[in-house]
Each structure stands twice: as C-alpha cells, then as structure tokens.
Amino acid sequence: MMFKNISVLCKVLRRVCACLLAVCALCVISVPGASFVLPVKAETLEEYKAKQNQLKAEESEIKTEISRLKNQAKSEQEKKDKLDAQVSNTKRQIENLNGQINALNKDIIAKNAEVAAKEKELEGIKELFKQRIRSMYVSGQNNELEVILGANDFADFLAKTELLRSVTENDNKLMAQVTEAIAFLNESKSEIEANKSEVSASRNTLKEKQAELDGQIAELQGAISKLDGAIAQENKHVKEIEGDLADISEQIKNLSGRNNAIFEREFKWPVPGYYSLSSPYGYRVNPVSGVYKLHAGIDISGGAIYGKPVVAAADGIVIKASDTGDGYGKCVMIDHGLNNGNRYVTLYGHNSAFNVSNGQTVKAGQTIAYIGSTGNSTGPHCHFEIRVNSSPVDPMQYFRK
C-alpha cells in the first residue's frame, strides 16, 4: 500500500515536471553572442584578484601622497621664487647704492684736490707776502720806520707809507679769501662724507637683508630637495607596484585561459546563424524516452535548420565521428586538450552526416557535420555539450552575456 502510494506520487510528480519543462522548452532563449568565456580556477584567480585590488589601493594611496608632496614642493618653490625676486631686487638696490658711493668717493677726491690747490695758493700768497716784507727790511730798510725815514721828501714818505699799508691790506684780503675758500671746500667735503656714510649704512642694511634672504632661500631649497627626494622614492615605489601589477595581470590572463595554446582564440558558436535554444541544459523529462533526467547540453534549433553546417567550437582532435546507438545519433566529439589542468571536450549530436573522421585535427569554425535528427530526437537540431574532465557543464555559462 505504502509502496503503491509512493509510486503514484512519483508518477504525479513526473507529470508535473514534464508539464513545467514542456512550457520551459517553448520559451526560446536568445543567445546574444557566440563566443566562449572559459572557466578559471576560481580560488587562485580570486587570490590574484584580491592581491591586484590590494596593490591598486596601495598604488592609489601612494599617488595621493605624491600629489600631496608635489603640492607642498610647489608651495615651497613659490615661496622661494618670491624670496629670489626679493634678493634680486635687493641686489639691484645694493648695486645702485654702490654706484652712489663710487660717485661720492670721486667727489671727495675732487674736493681734496681742490682743497690742496687752494692750500697751495694760500702758501704762495703767504710766501710772496713774506718775501715783500723781507725785501723791505733786508735792502737796508730794516724796519717800517726806515722805509718811511728813507723817504726823500714828504710826498715820497706818504707814498711809501701808503704802499706799505696797501700791500699789507691786499695780502691780508687775499689770504682771508683763500682761507675762506678752503673752509668752504672742507665743509662741502664733510657733507659728502656724511652723505657717503649714510649711503654706506643703507647698503650695509641691504647686505644684511640679502644675507638673511639667502639663508631663507637655502632653507627652502633644502626642503624642496627633500621633497623631491621623497617624490622620487614614492615614484620608485609606484614603478615597483606597477611591475607587480603587470605580473599579476599576466597571471590572471593565464588563469583566465586567454593565453592557453588551445583556447587562445575565441570559441565559435557551433551552428552559425542559429542562436535559438529549444531546450536548455538541466533536469527535465526526456521527450522521447519519457525519463526524468539531466539534459546534459543545449538544443540549438530554428527554421530550415536541417542540413546546415555544424562547426567545431574550438581547435582540437576528433575523438568520435559515428553513431554508436547511444541516443546521440550521428555524433561528433572533439577533444580540445587541457586548459589549466582541465580537459575540455565538446559533443555535437543528432547530425544527418559527418564531414570529419575520427582522429582528424580540426580548426575552430571548421564544418564537422550537418544538422539532422538522428538518434533520440523529435526534430532537426544540434545537441551541444561541453564536458570538463568528462562531466557535462551548462554550456551557456561560458557565453559572454
């Protein structure tokens, strides 16, 4: 009784499943592209991708630091440029003052020459005066009185007295004039010297300022050099990371199978021009046998598909091109070799005729058979399977969406 009930329940479930799958089968799945993306060793790939992300984050952090250092260096450089401008301005001012000092020195030399000339003139006047006085006394006229007494008459006496007076007066006047000129020259020389020491003081202040600015500039230059060094260091680090990233990228590429000898070219869709599925991969009730089991591939169908070429999905070696009565009808199988240690085999069932023979080497896209409905089939279609290490997988998961 129990067994019978279970048996009935199973039958009911099968019917339900059959109905559901029949509905599903009517929903034609459109395939946008016709190229495979091969499976990869997820763990190892994940590891590489995690490392890649970590390095990228590190690189981005360093790049942020580099741009911060560059900004800092730029700001220091701007400060230094300002100080450089101040220094050249100060240097110009110092040069200007040096020019003034030179001109004042020349003035002082000229004034000294003038004073010396005037002093010589004064000496000359003094000498002439002395000589006149001496001649008056020495030539028997020993004193003023003798000069006066030596007069021939009163008129001569008057004349001689007047002469003596006028000579003295004239000499005194001349000497006073020259002495005054010398005093004036000395005064203007003093003024020039005062001016010179003022200019020299200004120049010295400027020189001090320049020295201070030079000190600040040297300090800034030191800071800039340090920053440049730090930037170079960080850039070197980025270069290293970029090298590591390139290596990882290469590893990821290899792991993704894009570089494998067999899978380096893109896979071809097995039935060119026909991209509709009448039955997907998965568990269903077989429409011919009525048995609920795995449909291990995809059924590619479409209007007027009978006799259309079936092509090799990738380069490989034909390992079957026969009808062995296992339900696949006239069936072709191709071994594509190893990819990351996994063996890939494709299967094309229900063909009407073969275009290849067992053991033949084929290229991707090469016609291997023609669409038919041999074996357990209800109509012309291509039953296409991908087997990884002998286990069927859903071929659709390898298509680019």
| Sole window of 1-9, 266-274, 291-299, 331-339 interacting with Zn ion (rule: CB under 5 A) | 291-299
| 151-160 long-range Cβ contacts below 8 angstroms, 24+ apart | none
Distance of closest approach, residue 361 Cβ to Zn ion, in angstroms: 27
How far, in Å, CA of 279 to CA of 23, rounded?
A: 10
Token pair in block for residue 310: 């079936």
Of the pair 365, 395, the CB lying nearest Zn ion is at 395
**Beta-carbon neighbour count of residue 188 at 10 Å?**
15
The least CB distance from residue 295 to Zn ion, in Å, is: 6
Minimum distance from residue 354 beta carbon to Zn ion (Å): 19
Q: Closest approach of Cβ 298 to Zn ion, in Å?
A: 7
**Residue the block writes with tokens 């129990």:** 2
Q: What are the CA-CA distances from residue 379 to residues 25, 279, 301, 312 (Å)?
A: 13, 12, 9, 22
Position 284 contacts Zn ion (CB under 5 A): no
Instruction: Answer for the pair 355, 363: CB distance below 8 angstroms, yes or no.
Output: no
| Chain position whose Cβ is nearest to Zn ion | 383
Q: Which is nearer to Zn ion, 160 or 383 (CB)?
A: 383
Among residues 234 and 299, whose Cβ is nearest to Zn ion? 299
CA 332, CA 370: separation in Å to the nearest integer? 10
Distance CA 20, CA 23 (A): 5
Does 387 interact with Zn ion (rule: CB under 5 A)? Answer: no
Q: How far is the CB of 394 from Zn ion (least distance, A)?
A: 13
How far is residue 60's CA from residue 24's CA, in Å, rounded to a whole number? 49
| Min separation Cβ 347 and Zn ion, Å | 10
Beta carbon nearer to Zn ion, 76 or 299: 299
Q: CB nearer to Zn ion: give 237 or 320.
A: 320
Span of 1-9, 107-115, 183-191, 383-391 interacting with Zn ion by CB under 5 A: 383-391
Which residues are 285's β-sheet partners?
A: 292
Binding segment for Zn ion (CB under 5 A), chosen from 25-33, 110-118, 201-209, 377-385, is 377-385
Stretch of 68-76, 128-136, 171-179, 297-305 contacting Zn ion, by CB under 5 A: 297-305
Number of CB atoms found within 10 A of residue 153's CB: 8
Task: Show the binding pattern over residues 320-339: x = contacts Zn ion (CB under 5 A), - = does not.
Answer: --------------------
Q: Considering only residues 383, 385, 386, 387, which one is a binding residue for Zn ion as defined by CB under 5 A?
A: 383
| C-beta of 299 vs 315, nearer to Zn ion | 299
Count of Cβ atoms closer than 10 Å to residue 83 Cβ: 19
Q: Residue count at the site for Zn ion (CB under 5 A)?
A: 2
Give the interface segment with Zn ion, choosing from 1-9, 19-27, 113-121, 378-386 (CB under 5 A): 378-386
Measured CA to CA, the distance from residue 24 to residue 14 in angstroms comes to 15
Question: In this complex, which beta carbon is closest to Zn ion, that of residue 178 or of residue 277?
Answer: 277
Span near Zn ion by CB under 5 A; candidates 42-50, 187-195, 268-276, 295-303: 295-303
Say whether 309 sits in a helix, a strand or coil. Answer: strand
Q: What residues does 277 pair with on adjacent strands? A: 29, 300
Question: Which residue number, 224 or 347, has a Cβ lying nearer to Zn ion?
Answer: 347
Q: Note whether 299 binds Zn ion by CB under 5 A.
A: yes
Q: Min. distance of Cβ 282 from Zn ion in angstroms?
A: 11
Residue 17: how many other CB atoms lie within 10 Å: 14
> Quick one: 136 or 331, whose CB is closer to Zn ion?
331
| Cβ-based nearer residue to Zn ion, 84 or 323 | 323
Copy the structure tokens of residue 313. Answer: 């999905």
In sequence order, the β-bridge partners of residue 347 are 333, 385
The whole-angstrom separation of Cα 194 and Cα 204 is: 15
Q: State the Cα–Cα distance between residues 204 and 208, nearest whole angstrom.
A: 6
Contact set with Zn ion (CB under 5 A): 299, 383
